[in-house]
């Protein structure tokens, strides 16, 4: 199908939920009110690491207005975690707390103030343990154990993989660079603070409304944690007021609300404060990186060796996946024939890190793109040309056995180079400075790639990753039931557009019922950029099944062959006999008369392409998106302040199902990248988050956000719905290194860590003035021995396989 | 911690919200944000910090944007309060609301009510603002989703439509970029 | 949701009633104007007054009177956005309008008052934190504790004066009128402040700041520069207020006052003195900027590292003087928002 045949796809339509959002009608979790509802608060640990000697709740329980007080002792003694390999969390800690902010007790009361006052009356006796606040401290103190499990004392996970002979690759290179980088942790900062309402009914069944990105996983885990049959648990994801990966785990407040509701026989609402949202975290891992890459004189990469140390925080969360992801995606972008990766995630007594937009990949991306910039300088090459030359080959496998389909990166690069005026603005290495007074201008470039949905679920199974049930109504309306969660990215709208396209009706005729585990088939959740592709393909399948039945019925009525029929403009008929076409509603009636109730299912599971090695399950994806970014900025040499002027970002989205939505994802990603690059940081002092507030955790305002120029590149990927790939995360990735590279272009200093604050820029400029190496970045690496790598043949350049061979297709 | 008086002082307050007189008996220490959401059932007003640090809770008082999380209803008697629920008139959306929907300026939508109200105050004072003026006016509202781009676009589009400079019906979303 | 602790609320109509109400409320009483400083602090339990005396309904406290020739009087509860956009202030006291326009965000400037801005609580990032945070880290002497966390061993609190307008008003030679049930007095604004993070105001809690009186503006030029990470929301991490009277391009009188470097605005007296009798040449500016950076001794309890803030003092003073000299100004345009 080419673009012009579509009627819905490719149109800049409003999102279907836009009207409710602009009128204040959308009911987020904290907007829900049920009769007799109680309000809950959690008591959280003030210690970073301590044994719990005793908890006395009697004074709290005696406070008038208190309905129920619970501690860990009131919950079944099970530990849980989002990944089966890291079952290390407790909703309310029983024996020990591992971070400031760990929950130890919960209260339900007639209002929030009473609940909070009661929390303060809970007496907890702690025996403090040494707190380990950094990778170095955790490794230096094996005698202090944050958890008893893992790949060594305080080592949550250690991995080592080698694809081909890196040493030989370096020997064959003309230039080998070794660089060290640090990417500070940061957090999602969704505007909506997490909230949930639990109702344990008199029928002994539980309903939870929550601002969650993954109702399915919450459903499964609630059943386990509360020791109730999953069949009696219903989880409904309320519209989410921003997620970015921060609402992807089951949380203490959700579990506590359920248990409190069970005990006090009332619905219970709980809403976190901004401070608590910082403690709940699951955000970007701080990652220290060592990267060694060999280049030929022409700029080709001969091989690359990456080591990453992740500061994981106090719990596992998605951390094992995060660790693998720091190593998985770099080889997808450029031709990288040989690759070695070693990574370790270390426990510390800080809020757990997890998946934030780009999950585990922005950090190594920063390292690689900054290193390529330096290599280009040493080789005397234009950094845009160098990248253009080494773009990966479509329909091949990478060194680490990932199958890549379409690649629009070459076009992305050409388009950003063109749009930004790179050829005029980038005037060669060490060109004379541009700018006036102390203010210098510079441009920088970087590229990236990202997965469109993880190839495996977080728990091992053979079932679909996404499912849709579609029901056609006699009135001509279509209802879509799907477990996907709209976190603002527009998944509900996609679920309306695609069936509307297939059935020739208006998206307005489609009503989407999302994210209710009682009603909707499972969708794994809004993470890893999987939703559009996976629920999209499932929705197309369901709609196609309906269309076949309608065509049969209409064909019988019109006495034509079904293959001659088309569905468009709310009609079904033969194109050259359109006068006799039936309305869609009539078609549904005929179909229902012929076949009975018209309800169809669609399912999606990604192609089975996991590399045949341990760890090969992290990284495969049906297809990968690509981005190229140019940043123009200026740096004030007296203050070190960076001002962004323009960001050009070209993104290979496969196909823009709705260009407005894709642009919105690109713009939002660029924004978040700017924050990470220049100011956002989740840092700690005296064992506590230094500044858990919207004021002091700096998030860019309109005044720091430059003009963002989005360019969409379409490659029509065979894996995606109508050719679409992801757009929600990939475009964030090149922003940070493009900024770092532009700063170098402007003032000749290398800042090898984010955030690139004005202090760091000024420090580097001072070093430069003193004639020292003009670099600010990490100087030391942790003392840590990685295990012997698992050695696997490089699959680089092998032809792709299993294209569009999906289960359930 | 000193907890203040045992029985919180309550007051009967009378507010004009979205053109309607509303009465409530509330503790005096409840902020306008809490009273709107919890006593007057107007949950369209959102909150992201309750400390004046994000702009999410913005409402208009006598046409000027203020932070409802830091306002006491007791001080607002006799003044006109406008929340997002009052933007549409007689079932017709305000041009800003339409432009926000059409251009995808609301992603998760959580910042949207506050931003719409600031934008409305801006357009009352400056009917056709420059992009820089819009940017400056919205500097007190954090949005984590959109990168502000489509928000600025939407305010500009609504302004042009209200000034009669763009045919209302045909301003396709795409053409505004 | 962060909520206010309970209190009794009194809403007087006149200054006299207000003065009486605070006096009656005793030690648990506090004044509140816009509430943009006090309410967040109360939500974090940094203050727990039992009675609040609101000034919002006191009409006589609002508004701007006078002229540049005879001096301007500003009512204490004039909101910051009114100060920022007042045509006379913009023309004759541009530093004040600029500073008011750089406070926090547009919404907050529609609520926050000039008097509240002058009296704004000192700040410290060990102190402006929610109650559970302070409990986890340990309380400090400014509230609920007895030590200083940023300067352990210190017997005083080093919380930072973070008002944008206070250094400007000081540099302009403003006077403030204080009214209480027992009388009234008008004092130079520099006598209103004390170099102590806790007792940062040299006024009794029952004294109401009613007016800020600016001297005639004739012959004076003024400017204000603010250092912060973002162009909105953020408190000053350094404020530089400069007021000069030039006679034939030679400086006849000069005041340089730094904000956010100590528990009160800090005058750079030596630097200002060195300006007198000089023309504003680049060399003079550089020399004066070096002198001004002297008294700035920021501690590590705000955003930005303290060595950086100290370095910026030099740069910002030089830029402020450069701007008044009409030299081509360079650097970020942050201060040009107002
Ligand atoms: C997110 C955020 C950002 C901010 N950013 C800035 C900033 O950039 N720059 C800045 O300067 N401030 C900033 N502030 C602080 C504050 O909002 C402003 O200083 C504002 O001007 C305070 O005025 P107000 O009327 O709201 O004060 P209130 O909160 O009403 O009062 C502040 C203090 O002054 C006392 N007080 C008020 N009026 C009088 C009076 N007439 N007589 C005697 N005592 C009085 C009160 O008792 C209280 O102790 C910020 C606040 C927030 C929440
Ligand atoms: S300077 Fe010291 S005493 Fe003062 S608020 Fe900060 S930590 Fe507390
Ligand atoms: S909720 Fe009021 S400013 Fe954030
Ligand atoms: S649309 Fe989500 S915060 Fe603005």
Q: pLDDT digit string (tens) for B35-70?
A: 999 999 999 999 999 999 999 999 999 999 999 999
Look at ligand 2, atom 2, and give the residue with the nearest C-alpha: C148
Boundary residue ending a domain (B30, B60, B86): B86
Clarify whether residues B106 and B169 are in a common domain. yes
CB contact under 8 A, A22 and B45: no
Residue C256, classed as helix, strand or coil, is: strand
Please report residues of C whose CB lies closer than 8 A to that of B70. 34-36, 39-40, 108, 111
Q: Is the pLDDT of residue B3 over 80?
A: no
Q: Which residue has the higher pLDDT, A169 or C333?
A: A169
* Residue B121 domain boundaries: 95-175
Contact: C230, A759; criterion CB under 8 Å: no
Q: Output the pLDDT for position C45.
A: 97
| CB of A547 closer than 8 Å to CB of A587 | no
Q: pLDDT (tens digit, 9 = 90+) per residue, A585-606? A: 999 999 999 999 999 999 999 9
Residues of chain B above pLDDT 90, percent: 85
User: Do the Cβ atoms of C232 and A701 come within 8 Å?
Assistant: yes
* Confidence check: pLDDT of B2 > 50: no
Tell me: do A443 and A474 sit in the same domain.
Answer: no
Average pLDDT estimate for A303-332: 97
pLDDT tens digits, one per residue of C42-84: 999 999 999 999 999 999 999 999 999 999 999 999 999 999 9
Distances (CA, A) of A551 to A58, A500, A590, A591: 69, 15, 10, 8
- Ligand 1 centroid vs C120 CA: distance in angstroms? 4
Q: Are residues A569 and A695 in the same domain?
A: no
Asked if residue B2 is part of any domain, the answer here is: no
Question: A498 in a domain, yes or no?
Answer: yes
Q: Which of the 8 DSSP states describes residue A562?
A: G
Query: pLDDT tens for residues A431-444?
Result: 888 888 899 999 99
Q: Taking 60 as the threshold, does the pLDDT of residue C328 lie above it? A: no
B79 and B128 share one domain = no
Percent of chain A with pLDDT strictly greater than 70? 100
Neighbouring subunits of B (3+ Cβ pairs under 8 A): A, C
Residues with CB under 6 A from ligand 4: A 191, 242, 488; B 106-111, 143-146
Q: Mean pLDDT over residues A165-171, rounded? A: 98
CATH fold label, C62-119+160-335:
3.30.465
Task: Tell me, yes or no, whether A231 and A339 share the same domain.
Answer: no
Please tell me whether residues A276 and A291 are part of one structural domain. no
**Would you say residue A171 lies in a domain?**
no
Is residue B170, in this structure, part of any structural domain at all?
yes
Output the pLDDT for position B20: 96
Burial class (CB within 10 angstroms; exposed 0-12, middle 13-18, buried 19+) of A178 = exposed
Which CATH number does the domain housing residue B51 bear? 3.10.20.30
Residue B3 in domain: no
Give domain status of residue A181, yes or no: no
User: Taking 90 as the threshold, does the pLDDT of residue C327 lie above it?
Assistant: no
Residue A220: which domain range? 32-129+191-242+247-280
Q: How confident is the model over A345-364, as pLDDT tens digits?
A: 999 999 999 999 999 999 99
Same domain, A392 and A524: no
Model confidence pLDDT, tens digit, residues B135-175: 999 999 999 999 999 999 999 999 999 999 875 544 443 33
Judged against a pLDDT cut of 80, whether residue A38 lies above it is answered with yes
Verify whether the Cβ–Cβ distance C231 to A686 is below 8 Å.
no
| pLDDT at site A4 | 52
The answer to whether residue B126 sits within a structural domain is yes
Ligand 3 within 6 A of CB of B53: yes
On whether the CB atoms of residues A344 and A170 are closer than 8 A, the answer is no
At which of B60, B86, B112 does a domain end? B86
Does ligand 3 come within 6 angstroms of the Cβ of B71?
no
Which of C9, C36, C131 lies nearest to residue B70, judging by beta carbons?
A: C36
In B, minimum Cα distance to A16 occurs at: B101
Q: What is the CATH number of the domain that holds B125?
A: 1.10.150.120
Given a cut of 60, whether residue C317 has pLDDT beyond it is yes
Helix (H, G, I), strand (E, B), or coil: what is residue C275? helix
* Residue C271 DSSP symbol: H
In this prediction, residues A193-204 reach a mean pLDDT of 98
**Rounded-to-10 torsion of CA A306, A311, A312, A318:** -30
Percent of chain A at pLDDT > 90 equals 94
B118 and B142 together in one domain: yes
What pLDDT was estimated at residue A295? 98
User: Is the residue at B33 inside a domain?
Assistant: yes
Per the CB < 8 Å rule, is C50 touching B3? no
Nearest to B147 among A24, A244, A667 (CB): A667
Sign of CA dihedral C26, C27, C28, C32: positive
pLDDT at A528 over 90: no
Q: Ligand 2 centre and the CA of C151: distance in Å?
A: 8
- For residues A484 and A559, membership in a common domain is answered with yes
pTM: 0.97
Atom of ligand 1 minimally distant from the CA of C31: 47
Same domain, B72 and B128: no
Give yes or no for a contact between B71 and B31, defined as CB atoms under 8 angstroms apart. yes
* Percentage with pLDDT > 70 across chain C: 95
Order the strands of the A571-573 sheet from edge to edge: A566-568, A571-573, A582-583
For residue A573, the domain's CATH number is 3.30.365.10
Q: Across all residues in chain A, what is the average pLDDT?
A: 96
Q: Are A609 and A802 in contact (CB under 8 A)?
A: yes
Q: Is residue A433 part of a domain?
A: yes
| End position of a domain, from candidates B53, B86, B119 | B86
Q: Which of B49, B53, B69 is the pocket-test mutation for ligand 1 (most atoms within 8 Å of CB)? A: B53
Asked if A113 lies within 8 A of C3 by C-beta distance, the reply is: yes
> Which ligand number lies closest to the CA of residue A189?
4
The 10s digit of each residue's pLDDT in C205-214 is 999 999 999 9
Residue A293 inside a domain? The answer is yes
Chain centroid offset of residue A333 CA: 19
Q: Are strands A688-689 and C71-75 parallel, antiparallel or unpaired?
A: unpaired
**Domain total of chain B:** 2
- Of A22, A193, A357, A488, best ligand 4 pocket probe by most atoms within 8 Å of the beta carbon: A488
Is A344 in the same domain as A490?
no
For residue A804, what pLDDT band results from cuts at 50, 70 and 90? confident
Q: Is residue B6 very low, low, confident or very high in pLDDT (cuts 50, 70, 90)?
A: low
Residues of C in contact with A639 (CB under 8 A): 312, 315, 331-332
- Overall average pLDDT of the A613-619 stretch: 90
A681 and A751 assigned to the same domain: yes
Pair A37, A124 in one domain: yes
Under an 8 A CB cutoff, do C108 and B136 touch? Answer: no
Q: For C221, phi and psi rounded to 5 degrees?
A: -120, 145
- pLDDT mean across residues, chain B: 91
- In the prediction, which pLDDT does A529 show? 86
Ligand at minimal distance from the CA of C301 is: 2
The angle at the Cα of C164, spanning C160 to C169, to the nearest 5 degrees, equals 110
Q: In this structure, are A547 and A640 located in the same domain?
A: no
Task: Give the pLDDT confidence of A40-54 residue by residue, as tens digits.
Answer: 999 999 999 999 999
**Residue at B4 is within a domain:** no
Report CB contact under 8 Å: B27, C6: yes
Of residues C149, C187, C146, the one with CA closest to residue C169: C187
What is the pLDDT at residue B1? 42
Q: Report yes or no on A401 lying in a domain.
A: yes
Q: In this complex, is the C-beta atom of C13 within 8 Å of any C-beta atom belonging to chain B? A: no
Residues 6+ apart with CB under 8 A from C231: A701, A703, A704, B139, C334, C337
Pocket test for ligand 2, best of C140, C153, C303, C306 (most atoms within 8 A of CB): C140
Q: In chain B, whose CA is at the least distance from the CA of C50?
A: B4
Query: For residue C335, what pLDDT band results from cuts at 50, 70 and 90?
Result: very low
Find the range with the poorest average confidence among B59-68, C85-94, C287-296. C287-296
User: Domain ends where: A280, A302, A330?
Assistant: A280
The answer regarding whether domain C1-59 maps to CATH 3.30.43.10 reads yes
A471 & A403 share domain: no
Residues 6+ apart with CB under 8 A from C206: C19, C22, C23, C29, C180, C181
Q: Are residues B29 and B101 in the same domain?
A: no
Residues A358-395 have pLDDT tens digits of 999 999 999 999 999 999 999 999 999 999 999 999 99
pLDDT higher than threshold 90 for residue B117? yes
Are residue A443 and residue A555 in the same domain, yes or no? no
Q: Which of residues 458-517 of A touch C (CB under 8 A)?
A: none
What b/e sequence results for B117-148 when a residue is b if at least 16 CB atoms lie within 10 Å of its CB, and e otherwise?
A: bbbbbbbeeeeebeeebbbbbbbbbbbbbbbb
Output the pLDDT for position C330: 39
- Number of structural domains (chain A) is 3
Q: What is the pLDDT of residues A225-273, one digit of tens each?
A: 999 999 999 999 999 999 999 999 999 999 999 999 999 999 999 999 9
Q: What is the pLDDT of residue C297?
A: 64
Using the atom order of ligand 2, give the atom closest to the CA of residue C158: 1
Alpha helices in chain C (DSSP H): 15-25, 38-43, 80-85, 87-92, 94-101, 106-109, 114-118, 131-137, 165-172, 269-275, 282-293, 306-324
In a domain, A170, yes or no: no
Does residue A26 sit within a domain? no
CATH at A253: 3.90.1170.50
Same domain, B74 and B117: no
**Residue A693 at interface with chain B, using a CB cutoff of 8 Å:** yes
What's the pLDDT score for residue A540?
A: 97
Q: What is the pLDDT of residue A779?
A: 93
pLDDT of residue B168: 54
Return the closest-CA partner of residue C3 out of A256, B60, B72, A101.
B72
């Amino acid at each position: 199908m080419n673009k012009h045949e579509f009627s819905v796809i490719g149109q800049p339509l409003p999102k279907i939920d836009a009207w409710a959002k602009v009128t204040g009608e959308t009911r987020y979790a904290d907007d829900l009110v049920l009769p007799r509802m109680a309000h809950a608060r959690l008591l959280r640990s003030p210690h970073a690491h301590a044994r719990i000697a005793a908890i006395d709740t009697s004074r709290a329980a005696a406070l008038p207005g208190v309905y129920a007080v619970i501690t860990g002792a009131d919950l079944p003694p099970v530990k849980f975690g989002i990944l089966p390999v890291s079952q290390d969390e407790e909703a309310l800690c029983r024996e020990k707390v591992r971070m400031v902010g760990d929950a130890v007790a919960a209260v339900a009361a007639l209002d929030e103030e009473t609940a909070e006052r009661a929390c303060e009356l809970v007496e907890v006796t702690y025996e403090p343990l040494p707190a380990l606040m950094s990778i170095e401290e955790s490794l230096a103190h094996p005698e202090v154990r944050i958890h008893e499990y893992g790949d060594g004392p305080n080592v949550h996970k250690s991995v080592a993989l080698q694809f081909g002979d890196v040493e030989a690759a370096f020997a064959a290179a003309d230039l080998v660079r070794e660089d060290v980088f640090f990417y500070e942790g940061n957090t999602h900062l969704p505007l909506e603070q997490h909230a949930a309402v639990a109702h344990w009914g008199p029928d002994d069944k539980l309903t939870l409304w929550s601002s969650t990105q993954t109702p399915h996983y919450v459903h499964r885990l609630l059943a386990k944690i509360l020791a109730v049959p999953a069949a009696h648990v219903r989880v409904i994801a309320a519209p989410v007021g921003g997620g970015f990966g921060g609402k992807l785990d089951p949380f203490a407040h959700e579990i506590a609300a359920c248990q409190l509701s069970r005990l006090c026989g009332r619905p219970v609402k709980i809403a976190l404060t901004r401070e608590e949202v910082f403690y709940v975290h699951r955000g970007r891992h701080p990652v220290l990186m060592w990267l060694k890459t060999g280049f030929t004189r022409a700029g080709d990469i001969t091989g690359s060796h990456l080591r990453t140390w992740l500061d994981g925080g106090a719990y596992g969360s998605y951390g094992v996946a995060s660790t693998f992801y720091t190593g998985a995606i770099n080889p997808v972008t450029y031709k990288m024939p040989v690759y070695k990766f070693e990574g370790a995630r270390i426990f510390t007594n800080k809020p757990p890190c997890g998946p934030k937009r780009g999950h585990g990949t922005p950090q190594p991306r920063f390292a690689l793109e900054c290193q390529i910039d330096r290599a280009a300088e040493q080789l005397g090459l234009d950094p845009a040309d160098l990248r253009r030359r080494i773009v990966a080959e479509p329909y091949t496998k990478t060194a680490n056995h990932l199958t890549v389909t379409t690649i629009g990166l070459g076009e992305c690069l050409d388009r950003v180079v063109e749009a930004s005026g790179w050829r005029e603005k980038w005037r060669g290495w060490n060109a004379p400075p541009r700018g006036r007074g102390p203010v210098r201008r510079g441009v920088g470039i970087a590229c990236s790639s990202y997965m469109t949905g993880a190839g495996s679920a977080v728990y091992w199974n053979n079932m679909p990753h996404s499912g849709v049930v579609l029901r056609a109504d006699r009135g001509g309306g279509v209802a879509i039931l799907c477990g996907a969660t709209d976190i603002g990215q527009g998944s509900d709208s996609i679920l309306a557009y695609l069936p509307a396209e297939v059935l020739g009706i208006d998206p307005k005729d489609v009503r989407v019922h999302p994210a209710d585990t009682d009603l909707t088939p499972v969708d794994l959740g809004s993470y890893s950029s999987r939703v559009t592709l996976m629920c999209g393909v499932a929705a197309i399948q369901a709609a196609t099944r309906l269309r076949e039945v309608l065509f049969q019925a209409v064909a019988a009525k019109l006495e034509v062959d079904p293959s001659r029929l088309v569905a468009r403009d709310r009609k079904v008929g033969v194109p050259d006999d359109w006068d006799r076409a039936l309305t869609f509603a009539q078609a549904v009636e005929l179909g229902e008369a012929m076949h009975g109730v018209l309800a169809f299912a669609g399912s999606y599971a990604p192609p089975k392409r996991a590399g045949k090695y341990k760890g090969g399950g992290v990284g495969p994806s049906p297809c990968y998106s690509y981005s190229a970014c140019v940043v123009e900025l200026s740096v004030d040499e007296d203050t070190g302040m960076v001002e962004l002027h323009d960001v050009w970002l070209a993104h290979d989205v496969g196909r823009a199902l709705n260009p407005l939505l894709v642009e919105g994802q690109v713009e939002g990603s660029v924004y978040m990248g700017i924050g990470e690059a220049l100011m956002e940081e989740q840092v700690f002092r005296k064992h506590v988050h230094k500044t858990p507030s919207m004021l002091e955790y700096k998030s860019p305002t309109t005044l720091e956000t430059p003009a963002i120029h989005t360019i969409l590149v379409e490659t029509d990927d065979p894996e995606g719905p109508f050719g679409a790939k992801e757009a929600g995360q990939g475009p964030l990735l090149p922003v940070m290194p493009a900024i770092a590279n532009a700063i170098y272009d402007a003032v000749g200093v290398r800042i090898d860590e984010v955030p690139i604050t004005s202090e760091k820029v000024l420090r580097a400029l001072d070093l430069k003035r003193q004639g020292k190496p003009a670099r600010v970045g990490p100087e030391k690496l942790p003392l840590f021995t990685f295990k012997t790598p698992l050695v696997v043949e490089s699959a680089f350049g092998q032809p792709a396989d299993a294209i569009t061979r999906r289960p359930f297709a | 911690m000193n907890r203040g008086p045992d029985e919180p002082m309550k007051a009967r307050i009378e507010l004009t919200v979205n053109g309607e007189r509303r009465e409530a008996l509330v503790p005096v220490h409840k902020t306008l944000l809490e009273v709107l959401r919890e006593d007057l059932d107007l949950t369209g007003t959102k909150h992201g910090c309750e400390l004046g640090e994000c702009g999410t809770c913005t409402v208009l008082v006598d046409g000027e944007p203020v932070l409802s999380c830091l306002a006491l209803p007791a001080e607002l008697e006799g003044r006109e309060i406008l929340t997002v629920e009052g933007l549409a008139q007689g079932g017709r959306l305000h041009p800003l609301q339409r432009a926000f929907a059409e251009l995808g300026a609301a992603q998760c939508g959580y910042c949207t009510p506050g931003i719409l109200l600031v934008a409305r105050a801006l357009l009352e004072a400056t009917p056709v603002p420059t992009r820089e003026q819009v940017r400056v006016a919205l500097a007190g509202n954090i949005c984590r989703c959109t990168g502000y781009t489509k928000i600025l676009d939407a305010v500009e589009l609504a302004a042009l439509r209200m000034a009669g400079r763009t045919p209302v019906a045909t301003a396709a979303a795409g053409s505004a970029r | 949701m962060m909520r206010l602790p309970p209190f009794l609320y009194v809403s007087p109509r006149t200054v006299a009633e207000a003065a009486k109400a605070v006096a009656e409320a005793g030690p648990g009483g506090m004044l509140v104007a816009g509430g943009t400083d006090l309410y967040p602090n109360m939500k974090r339990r940094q203050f727990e007054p039992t009675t609040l005396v609101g000034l919002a309904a006191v009409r006589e406290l609002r508004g701007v009177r006078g002229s540049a020739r005879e001096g301007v009087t500003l009512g204490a509860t004039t909101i910051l956005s009114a100060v920022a956009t007042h045509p006379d202030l913009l023309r004759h006291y541009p530093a004040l309008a600029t500073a008011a326009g750089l406070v926090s965000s547009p919404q907050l400037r529609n609520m926050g008052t000039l008097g509240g801005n002058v009296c704004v609580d000192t700040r410290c990032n060990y102190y402006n934190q929610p109650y559970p945070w302070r409990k986890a880290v340990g309380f400090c002497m400014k509230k609920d504790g007895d030590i200083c966390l940023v300067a352990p061993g210190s017997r005083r609190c080093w919380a930072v004066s973070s008002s944008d307008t206070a250094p400007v008003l000081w540099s302009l030679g403003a006077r403030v009128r204080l009214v209480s049930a027992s009388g009234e007095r008008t004092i130079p604004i520099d006598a209103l402040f004390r170099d102590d993070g806790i007792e940062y105001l040299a006024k009794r809690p029952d004294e109401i700041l009613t007016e800020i009186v600016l001297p005639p503006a004739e012959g004076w030029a003024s400017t204000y520069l603010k250092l912060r990470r973002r162009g909105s929301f953020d408190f000053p991490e350094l404020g530089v207020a400069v007021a000069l009277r030039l006679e034939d391009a030679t400086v006849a009188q000069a005041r340089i006052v730094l904000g956010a470097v100590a528990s009160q605005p800090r005058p750079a007296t030596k630097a200002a003195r060195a300006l007198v009798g000089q023309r504003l040449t680049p060399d003079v500016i550089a020399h004066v900027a070096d002198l001004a950076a002297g008294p700035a001794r920021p501690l590590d309890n705000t955003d930005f590292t303290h060595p950086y803030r100290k370095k910026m003092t030099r740069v910002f003073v030089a830029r402020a003087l450069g701007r008044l000299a009409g030299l081509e100004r360079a650097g970020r345009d942050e201060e040009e928002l107002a």
